[in-house]
Copies of this chain bind each other. A is one copy, B any other.
Amino acid sequence: MIDHSHDPALPCWVPGATDHPEFPIQNLPLGVFSDGEGDARIGTRIGDHVLDLRGLAEMGLVPPELGSLSDTTLNSLLARPAADRLALRHALSALLSDGGQAARIVHLLHRIDSVTMQLPAAIGDYTDFYAGIHHAENIGKLFRPDAPLLPNYKHIPIGYHGRASSVTVGDVPVRWPHGQRAGPEGPSFGPSQRLDYELELGIWVGPGNAHGEPIAIDAAPEHIAGFCLLNDWSARDLQAWEYQPLGPFLAKSFHTTISPWIITAEAMAPFRIAQTPRPEGDPRPLPYLWSDADQASGALALNLEVLIETAAMRENGLAPHRLSVGPASNLYWTPAQMLAHHASNGCPLNPGDLLGTGTISTPTPDGRGSLMEISEGGKSPLTLPNGETRTFLQPGDRIIMRAMAQATGAASIGFGECSAEVVA
């Protein structure tokens, strides 16, 4: 069977969907939405509409074995093999490209501004990696100018466990965290004075593994269901004081924001590229982390962008200001390497678990993925076009992240915004 779902010429009868910059018919992401009555349902986004997949399933218009479409989270769908997600994609693609179907299902479309997006899955565990090598170098330089990367960095996808309960979808306001930090007269407790964002990708886990059973790197793609944007909000003053010897804790666990749509691995198929070759002299990873197939096509052709909108900018009707732009190819480890490493000790990964990649920065100053890097640890304030300055965030600041997948011969698709405002 020929897969037409990526054909850039594929038509779509939904008004405004053809040539939609982020959600054309070639995207078809998965999410959970509710309308005014709060009834959570699984949907896909097409143009500026959400299509109710529960309704579609009730009409018998999607493969019957995908009965989990009537759930209020995507966990059971994520548990299914990739072939099932692909079958769903093909069914949706056929329905939305065939104008003859419009009359039957148009009632299942909701305008995106009439619904509220919810967490796509109940997140069992959330893990955050540190795979953005230029970020690791930028941060490391602030502490160890001569040796910014620790000896393990190029051998292990460094990661730590995050706080699943603190993950929300975009637009939930981020309440300003209080915490303990060091000071010249001893530690004190109060509102963070160095609140920051971090630009990351999120990786949604699919079927996963049984406790004690590792996942081989060549099997890892079967367990990667999709992707999203992730803002790993960070309180730098809390982090500096608490993180030795067991790692970040309350500096991160107050809030993590993700974009609401799971951009499926199937939608991303045209946007898989070769991993950036390791620089001459870098060690070759151990075999459990190395696969020629993964090196050939395991990375993501994604362009990432971060913008800030301050309260003053909003009041004066100014557009958000771009803080950084750059490609996801600055990740030193592929998603498959992160997942294979995670399961290498037998740790059980479950459907709906979330992995963060770590902050993605470019080697150049225009693509730094956090204010800590942009302001060089708070020493070099950033001046915004309206004259405001920032070293770290201020109350009322909104951080907006965007991702666009682009490849020759393919229709571009976007991730939708990961956007939230910090409030005092």
Q: Is the C-beta of A244 less than 8 angstroms from some C-beta in chain B?
A: yes
Which B residues touch A162, using CB under 8 A?
161
Q: If A189-B286, A248-B247, A347-B250 touch, does A180 touch B155 (CB 8 Å cutoff)?
A: yes
Q: Is the C-beta of A279 less than 8 angstroms from some C-beta in chain B?
A: no
Q: Is the interface of A mostly helix, strand, loop or mixed?
A: loop
Which B residues touch A177, using CB under 8 A?
345-346
Q: Is the C-beta of A365 less than 8 angstroms from some C-beta in chain B?
A: no
Pair B245/A344 contact, Cβ less than 8 Å: no
State which of B189, B248, B283, B353 has its C-beta within 8 Å of the C-beta of A246.
Answer: B248
Within 8 A of B (CB), among A129-177: 130, 150-152, 155-156, 158-166, 168, 175, 177
State which of B160, B165, B214, B244 has its C-beta within 8 Å of the C-beta of A178.
Answer: B214
Q: How far is the CA of A294 from the CA of B397 in the complex (A)?
A: 39
Within 8 A of B (CB), among A241-259: 241-251, 253-255
Q: Is the C-beta of A238 less than 8 angstroms from some C-beta in chain B?
A: yes
Q: Is the C-beta of A89 less than 8 angstroms from some C-beta in chain B?
A: no
Q: Is the C-beta of A212 less than 8 angstroms from some C-beta in chain B?
A: yes
State which of B166, B175, B180, B246 has its C-beta within 8 Å of the C-beta of A160.
Answer: B246
Q: Is the C-beta of A235 less than 8 angstroms from some C-beta in chain B?
A: yes
State which of B152, B166, B175 has its C-beta within 8 Å of the C-beta of A242.
Answer: B152
Q: If A245-B150, A247-B247 touch, does A156 touch B180 (CB 8 Å cutoff)?
A: yes
Which B residues touch A16, using CB under 8 A?
none
Pair B178/A348 contact, Cβ less than 8 Å: no
Q: If A155-B187, A166-B348, A286-B189 touch, does A342 touch B250 (CB 8 Å cutoff)?
A: yes
Pair B248/A156 contact, Cβ less than 8 Å: no
Q: Is the C-beta of A349 less than 8 angstroms from some C-beta in chain B?
A: yes
A189's nearest neighbour on chain B, judged by CB, is B286
Q: How far is the CA of A124 from the CA of B123 in the complex (A)?
A: 8
**A 172-215 binary contact with B (CB < 8 Å = 1; else 0):** 00010111101000111100000000000000000000011010
State which of B164, B168, B249, B341 has its C-beta within 8 Å of the C-beta of A159.
Answer: B249
A347's nearest neighbour on chain B, judged by CB, is B253
Copies in the complex: 2
State which of B130, B156, B189, B347 has its C-beta within 8 Å of the C-beta of A166.
Answer: B347
What count of chain A residues pass the 8 Å CB interface test? 61
Q: If A155-B187, A186-B283, A189-B288 touch, does A165 touch B347 (CB 8 Å cutoff)?
A: yes
Which B residues touch A151, using CB under 8 A?
182
Q: Is the C-beta of A350 less than 8 angstroms from some C-beta in chain B?
A: yes
Pair A160/B249 contact, Cβ less than 8 Å: yes
Within 8 A of B (CB), among A54-89: none
Q: Is the C-beta of A222 less than 8 angstroms from some C-beta in chain B?
A: no
Q: How far is the CA of A346 from the CA of B162 in the complex (A)?
A: 15
Pair A235/B348 contact, Cβ less than 8 Å: no
Q: If A164-B125, A164-B164, A211-B168 touch, does A253 touch B152 (CB 8 Å cutoff)?
A: no
Which B residues touch A255, using CB under 8 A?
211, 346
State which of B130, B165, B238, B287 has its C-beta within 8 Å of the C-beta of A349.
Answer: B165
Which B residues touch A344, using CB under 8 A?
178-180, 189, 250
Q: If A175-B212, A346-B254 touch, does A286 touch B180 (CB 8 Å cutoff)?
A: yes
A358's nearest neighbour on chain B, judged by CB, is B246
Pair B245/A188 contact, Cβ less than 8 Å: no
A164's nearest neighbour on chain B, judged by CB, is B125
Q: If A155-B180, A214-B178, A286-B180 touch, does A125 touch B347 (CB 8 Å cutoff)?
A: no
**Beyond known contacts A152-B241, A161-B253: 8 more, CB 8 A cutoff:** A150-B245, A155-B180, A161-B163, A163-B347, A165-B349, A166-B347, A177-B345, A180-B286
* 7 pairs of residues in contact across A and B, judged by CB atoms under 8 Å: A152-B187, A158-B245, A160-B160, A177-B345, A178-B214, A178-B344, A180-B344
